Each structure stands twice: as structure tokens, then as C-alpha cells.
Structure 1
Amino acid sequence: MPLDLATFRAAHDRIRPYIHRTAVLSSARLNLACGGQLFFKCENFQKAGAFKSRGAVNAVFSLDDATARCGVATHSSGNHAAALSRAAGLRGIPAHIVMPSNSSKAKVRAVEGYGGRLTFCEPTQAAREATCARIVSETGATLIHPFENEAVMAGQSTAVIELLEDHPALDLILCPVGGGGLLAGTSLAAKALRPTITVMATEPEEASDTARSFRAGQIVPLERTTTIADGLRTTIGAPNFAIARQWVDGVATVSEEAIIAAMRTIWETLKIVIEPSAAVPYAAVLEKKVPVAGRQVGLILSGGNVDLDALPWLRKP
């Protein structure tokens, strides 16, 4: 599958009946604070609560009927798991989901609610991959990798396509990065639509494998991490890293304190619920890791699946 604008537009047409075209919000208060114009693409309003629905639906509905009948499988900390469970349900096929044992309870409940068949594993990349490989072997299901999958990347690209259709004069896109599916789709589509635009990846300092990989010129695997941004607790994928090195202009890392502050600021100012991973791009603005003064900036709020009983600002010291 060529990862070009024609493919991305075809993906958008394929998934359109099954997703929301999400809102773009702005705030005069936040603009004044940073000196730029910020446009928040609210994928927290997306079906299943995150941008992952775009890639999952595109991947599931790209399968031929014979392949689809055997079902799909994946490993995920939550948002892709829920999105794939939902997409499989829409097509009437089983979804086998491997989740690490430290996954958010809210995200586990979401997978169960969409009918995903759950298996838990140790919270390491190796355990996730090994458990999922065993299930694929036993069931004959098709692996829909959370990010190392071209149909998934194509689906994820549609968020920035919508953003640039709504705000074509953007100078800068800030995108969170974990495995890199959203970053790959975002950078390819954004540069195809607006070649002069700057695309920056943003990630937690405690899960800074992409930044370290950029510096090293090769993937530096992420060790065990407890970053609050649970959706970003994974090493960037090999194909995603190759795309990022070519099309992404840099990587900004942010502290845990900034993620919490950014999350709370968005809750209080925009009056919306976002999860910690979604707060990472705005955390880069708060910590002045990326210059935004005088610029029009798109920030992708990746999701809103958060455990309301475990909000970070309610934690005891």
C-alpha cells in the first residue's frame, strides 16, 4: 500500500461512515498565554474516545471477506484495543486483544464493552508481542499492529487532513508519539498538503525513545516506564521511525509535571476531558520546548479515555 495522499483520501472515504469528523477548538486565554494561535484537534471526541478508531476501522474494512472471517488480533495498552474491538464488531468478526497488566481500568472496560476477547500479559514490549503471536497462531486471526501497519497509518492520517481542511494556514503541527502510527500518518499527510509546514513529535521525558532514536540515528528501545502518559509507553516502530526521520522536523520531550499541568489546563480552559497522552503536545508549549509565538499551531488531542477515579492531580504525595 503506497503511503501517499491518494491512499490517505481513499482511507478517509472508507472510514467516513464509521467515525466522527472531530471538532477543532481554540481559546483566547491560551493564545494570549503563549503568543501564538493554538488549534486543538479534538480526537477525544472520536468514536471509542481516541484517534485510534481511524486506523482500526481502515485496517478492518480493508480486509477481504475470507481473511476477515478469521478475525483480527492486536496488542495495545488500551486505545487501539478498544478501537479494534469496535471496528471488528462493526464488521461482525472476532477481535483478540492482548493488554499489559498495568493498563488503565477505564480502557479495559472499554475493550470489554466493545466485545474484545481479552488476554493480559506482563507490561513489557516483549511480553505483548509474544502473547499476541501465540494467539494469532492459535486462531488464524490477522494481526492489526497498533502502528506498524500501513492501513493503520493511512487511517490515522485523516485527522490532520481534516485539521488542515479546517485551518489551511497552519505553520506547525504538534503530535504525540508512542509507537508512531499517528506521527507517520500526520507527517506524511501534512507535508503532502502543505510542504512548508513544520511537524514536531512530542513525548514524555520518561518515555523518550523517539528523541534518543533521532539522536542515535537508529531505534533505541524504550525500557520499562511508568510515565503517566500510558498511551505512549511503547517503542517507536521501525517503519514509523523511517518515516519520521524523513518527514518529522524534530522531537520535544516534556516532564511528567508539565503533562499533568497541561492536562488540567485543558480540562479547565476548554472544558473537555482528555487523557495524559493527549496533553503532551500542549505540555511542550507550556515548557517552551517549541517556539509558538506568532505562529498558527495545530495540536492533536489524541484521546479522552481516562480513569476518573485516578486523576493525576488527586494523587496523594
Structure 2
Amino acid sequence: MPEPCACHPTPKVEGIRALGGRVVTYRRDSENRDALVAEIAARDGLAVVPSANSRHIMAGAGTAALELLTDHPEIETLVVPVGSGGLAAATAKRLHPGIKAIGVEPQEGADTLLSLRCGQRIALPDVPATIPNGLGHSSP
């Protein structure tokens, strides 16, 4: 397996390992992440926890907005990173009337913006590495 590189931020990898987790890397340009995850889960008897396409994950992510708005009810606008879409979707569901949510994503990887404009989910053929690596998705 390849070792962490710019697309695998060292602090995140080290943090996962420090907590006893196992990090499995893959080659984004030639391997299918979802197929690899399914294979590992089947082989090792593990459950797959999707990064966003799960109502449970979105509900958990929504607690971030809920806690923030509980502590700071005066907030009028939230700027939310849009990676796979789970945090943004959950945040939008937790907003009080009148609060504006602005989703942001890298210009070079604006899969969500393009999908909204086209009215269907769009997959980008190539997404360059970004500093906020959690925003480097090819499809919402």
C-alpha cells in the first residue's frame, strides 16, 4: 500500500493510527475506493460506515450546526464546506428560519455546484488535490 502523501495528510493519518485505527490507502487514479472498502469489509467481517450518504452520518454532522446555533443564536450566516455533502445537508436541516447557509468548495472541484446547475449528480473526471483534502470529492 502507498504511504501517505500530499493527498493523505500526515496529521490525520497519524491521529487515526494513534487511536488504534488502521489506515488503508489506495490509488485514486486507478482504484475504486468503494469497491476496496466493500472488499475489506466482506473479508474482515466489518460494517461500512459511509462518509456522507447515510442519514445517521448526516444526523451526527448536523449536531455541529445545532450546537453552534444553540451557543450563538445571533449568527445570521453560516459558511459550510461542501465535500461529499453530508455536513452541508445536515447543517441546512438544522438552521433556524432566517439564517443563511453558504456552501463552499474548491473552484477546481466544484462537483456540487455543477450538479445543482445541471439538476443531476455530476462526477468530475479529475479532481486536483486540495489543501482542505476533505473537499476533494469528484461527485456529491
For the aligned pair, the TM-score class normalised by the smaller chain equals: 0.7 to 0.9
CA distance in 1, matches of 2:79, 2:30: 26
Shift of residue 125 of structure 1?
A: 9.2
Report the CA distance between 1:201 and its aligned residue: 0.4
Give the C-alpha shift of residue 231 in structure 1: 1.4
Residue 175 in 1 paired to residue 80 in 2? yes
What TM-score comes out, normalization by structure 1 length?
A: 0.40
Q: Which residue of 2 aligns with 1:227?
A: 130
How much does 1:236 deviate?
Answer: 4.4
Partner of 2:104, secondary structure, is strand
Moved over 6 A (4+): none
- Percent of aligned pairs with the same residue? 34
Instruction: Write the deviation string for residues 121-167 of structure 1: whole angstroms up to 9, x where unpaired.
Output: 11259621121011011122111011111111111111111111122
For 1:120-269, what aligned pairs fall within 5 Å after superposition?
A: 120-124=25-29, 127-190=32-95, 194-222=96-124, 223-237=126-140
- Indicate the structure whose relative CO is greater, using CA pairs within 8 Å and at least 6 residues apart: 1
Higher strand proportion (structure 1 or 2): 1
* Cα deviations by residue, 1:225-281 (Å, 9 ceiling, x for unpaired): 1222211111344xxxxxxxxxxxxxxxxxxxxxxxxxxxxxxxxxxxxxxxxxxxx
Q: Which amino acid aligns with 1:229?
A: P
- Contact 1:175–1:202 (Cα < 8 Å) also in 2: yes
CA shift for structure 1 position 214: 1.1
CA distance in 2, matches of 1:160, 1:183: 10
1:303 corresponding residue in structure 2? none
Q: Which residue is equivalent to 1:240? A: none
Q: Aligned-residue CA RMSD in angstroms?
A: 2.1
Counterpart amino acid of 1:211? Answer: L
Counterpart AA for 2:128: T
The 1-side partners of 2:92 and 2:120 are apart by 19
Q: Which runs of 5+ in 2 are unaligned?
A: none
What residue identity is the alignment partner of 1:198? K
Task: Give per-residue Cα distances to partners, 1:206-239, cap 9 Å, x unaligned.
Answer: 11111111111111113231222211111344xx
Return the structure number with greater helix share: 1
Measured in 1, the distance between the counterparts of 2:30 and 2:65 equals: 28
Q: Rg bigger for which structure? A: 1
- Any conservation in 2 of the 1:175–1:183 contact (CA below 8 Å)? yes
Give yes or no for the alignment of 1:111 onto 2:13.
Answer: no
